[in-house]
Structure 1
Amino acid sequence: MNNDIQQFKSEFFKALAHPMRIRILELLSEGEKTVNEMQAILGSEGSAVSQQLAVLRAKNVVNSVKEGTSVIYSLRDPLIKDLLAVAKRIFDNHLVNAISLLEEIRSE
């Protein structure tokens, strides 16, 4: 059972292991979006956004619903928003530590 959970975590984090996929999840944390909306916000080609969405869909990280000619994307689990917030706090902590270290080096 423990191996199953670790395997799930590994696959889940692999799905997050791309800067554009993280940015897509951040956008979806704000609410549902179409590929065109995400493309405009990201300033990226639709094919690049679609490729990354395909990975997130395959790993069951996002949901997609077809409405007319558009596909609306959303987070599969709202806790992903919390995970991204925690990751940002961890980054902030590392940044604070790095700044403190640089200040110590400068004062020497």
Structure 2
Amino acid sequence: MSVPLYEAKAELFRLLGHPVRIRVLELLQDGSRPVRELLAAIEVEPTGLSQHLAVLRRSGMVTAHRDGSTVVYALAGGDVADLLRAARKLLTQKLTGQNELLSELLDTETGVR
């Protein structure tokens, strides 16, 4: 039995629902990075990062390859970067709306309309 599309989408967003995973994906937008660079950029224990990278790898969002003794990660494709850009755009719109509401509230407090 196949999973309905809306459930598959919900699972995708659950997968992305952790700040460490989002940060890893953001860092990889600029290109491949070895694990040591990811660890230096993200405040997380090595075992925790390893678990998050494994989840992202199993989901097909990132790929990994060995360069000698170093494991290097990369985004699996441009669609992941597109999704992150879309999320940034949505957040920008949301915060812009909140700033407009805050300005309106402050204006009504001071009697300015």
TM-score in terms of structure 2 length: 0.85
Residue in 2 that maps onto 1:90: 90
Instruction: Give how far 1:2 is off.
Output: 8.0
Residue in 2 that maps onto 1:33: 33
Distance 2:51 2:96 in 1: 35
1:1-108 paired onto structure 2 within 5 Å: 3=4, 5-108=5-108
Distance 1:51 1:68 in 2: 21
Count residues in correspondence.
Answer: 107
Instruction: Give how far 1:18 is off.
Output: 0.6
Which structure is higher in helix share? 1
Structure with more contact order per residue of length (Cα contacts < 8 Å, sep ≥ 6): 1
Distance 2:12 2:31 in 1: 21
- Give the conservation status (yes or no) of the 8 Å contact 1:26–1:84: yes
Unaligned runs of 5+ in 2: 109-113
AA at the equivalent of 1:22:
I
What SS does the aligned partner of 1:26 have? helix
- State percent identity of aligned pairs: 36
TM-score in terms of structure 1 length: 0.89
Stretch moving more, 96-105 or 60-69: 60-69
Unaligned runs of 5+ in 1: none
Distance 2:7 2:74 in 1: 24
Where in structure 1 do 4 or more consecutive aligned residues deviate above 6 Å? none
AA at the equivalent of 1:80:
V
The root-mean-square deviation of aligned C-alpha atoms, in Å, is: 1.6
Distance 1:81 1:29 in 2: 6
